[in-house]
Amino acid sequence: MNKKVVIFTAPSGAGKTTLVRYLLNELTEKLAFSVSATTRPKRYYEEDGKDYYFFEQSFFENKIQEGAFLEYEEVYEGSYYGTLKSEVNRIWANGKSVIFDVDVKGAVNIKKYYGEKALSVFVKPPSYETLEQRLIDRNTESEESLRKRLARVQLEMTYENEFDIAVVNDDLEEAKKNALSVVEAFLTND
């Protein structure tokens, strides 16, 4: 089996998680989701071990010291996110390629680590204003948390050229079609 990784990244609210879920549904036999670890609080609709591994900060920091992460970052003060090496190995052992849904810095690091074995996709919102409205409409953030996310979005948008391809998520069906085409071509190309 050709061990490959597919990395989806975007600013918060651009739609990367929606596209990743779609690809997992369409390419069930070829792809499996790499569950990230985080120290942020679990949202009401999230499931530990499925959406994220929710760790206490001290446990996460111990894992850093052990070298258990492929990449990690303290995205906001005291709020870590990271990719466990054991996740990639688990998926490859099951004969599938890995798909990641990660922040832009994590995506850059994973792409550097895997090089040509990795396809990196930047999901781009049609505009900053559209993205801002999507985040407001989610209604999952406090006022302060929303302010921090929006400040971070502007920085994350500058990373677009670091990735292999950008998929604009203006029309969701079109974005799904484009993402599927790009990922299928990568997975079948040796």
pLDDT digits (tens, 9 = 90+) for 34-81: 999 999 999 899 999 998 999 999 999 999 999 999 999 887 788 999
Res. 21: pLDDT tops 60: yes
Domain that holds residue 120: 5-188
Res. 9: pLDDT tops 70: yes
For residue 83, what is the domain's CATH number?
3.40.50.300
Residue 1 pLDDT: 54
Please give the tally of structural domains in the chain: 1
Q: Which of 145, 102, 154, 152 is nearest to 127 (CA)?
A: 154
Q: Confidence band (pLDDT; 50, 70, 90) for 12?
A: confident
Res. 170: pLDDT tops 90: no
Q: Confidence band (pLDDT; 50, 70, 90) for 125?
A: confident
4, 187 contact by CB (below 8 A): yes
71, 110 contact by CB (below 8 A): yes
Residue 61 C-beta-side C-alpha neighbours within 13 Å: 6
**Cα–Cα dist 3/180, whole Å:** 19
Handedness of CA 62, 66, 68, 71 (dihedral sign): positive
